[in-house]
Chain A
């Protein structure tokens, strides 16, 4: 490094000292709020810096603060009011005098503040684990449970319910409430995807704030008063925007539940796998909940670079097709006896050897992973093949839904399968087949008969290799049909619309004889090109990262992707 290089120091973060449970720490003075705007740090956030979790229901880092559940009550000590001299009361040794807060009219009783909405004051002491704080929590929890039906046995939230968790951690075993509980409406149909159980609700208003401030659909509100207060929609106006299921996620109790997941499986049985939504180019991070090879639900996974903690309903519910009976499960080959993967791959490899350079076309799908596209690109380079992908456009929205419905259009562009405009080469390929210059066609995951290459053209092919997961007009004409995997059944990476390279994991086993595309492609490419590839997805990705320029620029590797992914230049 040259001597004159100026090392720029990051701007100093202004901190303030606070004492949490007697431990002196300094926390940033300002913290980004739900909109990313810097606002004074709160008591709850200071405790988080100290590694102490303050229980809370209504507070959510990505929602405006409401401060209505009272669960985050903590006992704090504050500097006293300044006297006539303008100076706060001091101790004898000259330090600031801190007094634990007490009720003004009952000086023997400690007074709590809500952690989520109380800004830090320099010198403040937070007694997060004191007996006073514990007693406050117990009282709040008991009050929240007064009208709770305690029907955990039939509640879908059981197992991931904050009422259950806090009752175990901070509650008391018995209730002093001897009167009759107020009963509220149960199993209320709020909209096409959401069910409300008003009795379980703790009125934290997270759902109301989400709908109004994040989804931009002010559909929910509280009606009635006192213990009869209930979440409700406007009469005759169903709660049906494209983000309703997020309210079921953020509902800390079992009041709002997903109809899709209602009474399907208890949450403690679900195996969680990090995955990605393939509904559009946004690439929302998800967690797949599966049990014994059956997928039960898909929930958003927080990634501030992509989707925050949210995802759209249409993407979330777009998984039923994975378990469809119509899935392709067996290898099919015309005029050949080969039925096993080894035999078919070897046979295809043999046939490809006789293919002349320039007489091949590859139509890949922008729904395929970077690794698969990279392997297809290698094949294309070897035979000087003309390649392209298929565009898939729809409507976008203001929040997460992208107009590009392919999850990996950018991957196809970066790896060189497709140009800036996806599908620009398709007419040329059709023409090539028509004129007889293209004799071999490889199609992955697309029905090309819908995109200008008719069935009569497909019949003219000398060799037509197709891989897909559902039967269609193209697979019907295939000489070799290779059953592939849905995204939940394999591993790989996608490059989203902003250039975020993210990986997803395998949650399910593929049906029948189907196999992950990158596995058999890797074998095929190795047979044909004679190159020695990697037989693991990690190795394959790392190899790709050294050969694709933009990935190389970021020095990507599988491990460095982490759970959130890395942004590359697009």
Chain B
């Protein structure tokens, strides 16, 4: 059922919009004259007296927690590519920005023995990407992350500013596997499931002798 909206009857003075405009200017002016420092920039703009401006790019913005930057591939502590080319991110990506070329039968061997495969090519079109984070959410290998600079071990130089993704042409904005891995940096893998699987299997190499290698 349609709802009838009752419009507020404005007086002539209100209809001139002068008080409304004045209220807006008051806020702008308040910021302009404020000398209080913002918490958001607390670290990065220590020397900056005004809170509303930032001498970009000399001074960089500190992204707040929860910020979703550009999706990059990460390596584990052994510099092994974590991605196993399962293509779930490609499937879930709403703007179809991700394109993975699977390794095929005789592709390059995976960095981690048990993982069996690794993408031959991994491309993200950063012009298409809408930074929704579905790829990070769906990844069963924790191999793709939307860059944030608040986690431990973040390297300012290496990560670049993913909120300032720029390029001079479209081709440049299609990031390939090497570029994504370089920018993604290292993520510590606490579980190391593939290594664990391989180690377990090797410990059972006496197979099929039924002795449990764990029972000592």
Contact = CB atoms under 8 A, between A and B. Distances in A.
Interface of A: 149, 151-154, 158, 180-184, 186-187, 224-226, 228, 259-260, 262-266, 268-269
Contacts of A265: 87, 102
Q: Which 9 pairs show the lowest CB-CB distances between chains A and B?
A: A183-B201, A153-B86, A228-B208, A266-B87, A262-B105, A154-B116, A224-B208, A183-B204, A153-B140
A154 B107 contact: no
Contacts of A228: 207-208, 210
Interface string B41-75: 00000000000000000000000000000000000
Given A187-B116, A262-B105, A264-B102, A269 B91 contact: yes
Give chain B's interface secondary structure class: loop
Contacts of B155: none
Given A153-B141, A183-B201, A264 B208 contact: no
Contacts of A269: 87, 90-91
A263 B85 contact: yes
Contacts of A260: 105
B122 to A, nearest CB: 14
A340 to B, nearest CB: 32
Contact of A154 (B115, B204, B213): B115
The main secondary structure of chain A at its interface with chain B is: loop
B30 interface: no
B133 interface: no
Interface in B103-160: 103-105, 107, 115-117, 140-141
A148 to B, nearest CB: 12
B169 interface: no
Given A153-B86, A154-B84, A183 B207 contact: yes
Contacts of A158: 86
Contacts of B208: 224-225, 228
Contacts of B197: 149, 151, 183
Nearest to A259: B105
Contact of A180 (B90, B104, B200): B200
A264 B84 contact: no
Interface string B173-216: 00000000000000000000000010011001001101011100
B200 A181 contact: yes
Contacts of B84: 153-154
Contacts of B87: 265-266, 269
A186 B104 CA distance: 17
B72 to A, nearest CB: 19
Nearest to A230: B208
Nearest to A229: B208
Contacts of A180: 200, 212-214
Contacts of A268: 91
